[in-house]
């Protein structure tokens, strides 16, 4: 995930989602991921203190700053490029498993009170963001 001042997703020339300050979450789903993990991640992300308070300390959560989230499914996060010259994606969940779990994660994040936009699962997307900090956090549970 990346802390951003703004972010958007465009598919086939049409902007499908846009956020202001908050987080762009590039979400990979792997084998063994389930709804319990999605719930834990949504709760963690909503309350993770990575935004600055008035003293410049990272003491505030996405909920505290009333930030937004933009969730983009990205199976390429599971790329394994250790062997050969073409990455393997065998650790990524199949689309029929990943899609419902991405949808569940988005719903759970919204249930936490976070306004959440989303990309289009399986589509070729152009993702734009302005990283704030820069702050980029790899979160695995």
Q: pLDDT tens across 15-54, in order?
A: 999 999 999 999 999 999 999 999 999 999 999 999 999 9
The pTM score is: 0.96
89 in catalytic set: no
Which one from 2, 10, 51, 74 is the annotated catalytic residue?
74
In this predicted structure, the answer to whether residue 141 has a pLDDT above a threshold of 90 is no
Structural domain boundaries in the chain: 2-132
Which one from 2, 75, 105, 112 is the annotated catalytic residue?
75
76 in catalytic set: yes
51 in catalytic set: no
* CATH architecture of residue range(s) 2-132: 3-Layer(bba) Sandwich (3.50)
Which burial class, exposed, middle or buried, applies to 134 when counting CB atoms under 10 A from its CB (0-12, 13-18, 19+)? Answer: exposed
- pLDDT tens digits, one per residue of 74-98: 999 999 999 999 999 999 999 999 9
pLDDT for position 23: 98
């Amino acid at each position: 995930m990346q802390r951003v001042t703004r972010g958007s997703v465009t598919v086939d020339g049409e902007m499908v989602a846009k956020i202001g300050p908050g987080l762009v979450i590039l979400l990979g789903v792997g084998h063994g991921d389930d709804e319990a993990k999605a719930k834990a991640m949504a709760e963690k992300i909503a309350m993770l203190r990575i935004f600055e308070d008035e003293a410049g300390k990272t003491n505030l959560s996405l909920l505290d700053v009333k930030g937004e989230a933009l969730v983009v499914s990205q199976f390429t996060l599971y790329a394994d490029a250790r062997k050969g010259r073409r990455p393997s994606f065998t650790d990524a969940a199949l689309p029929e498993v990943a899609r419902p779990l991405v949808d569940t994660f988005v719903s759970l994040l919204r249930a936490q009170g976070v306004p959440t936009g989303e990309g289009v699962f399986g589509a070729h997307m152009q993702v734009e963001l302005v990283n704030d900090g820069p702050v980029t956090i790899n979160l695995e549970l």
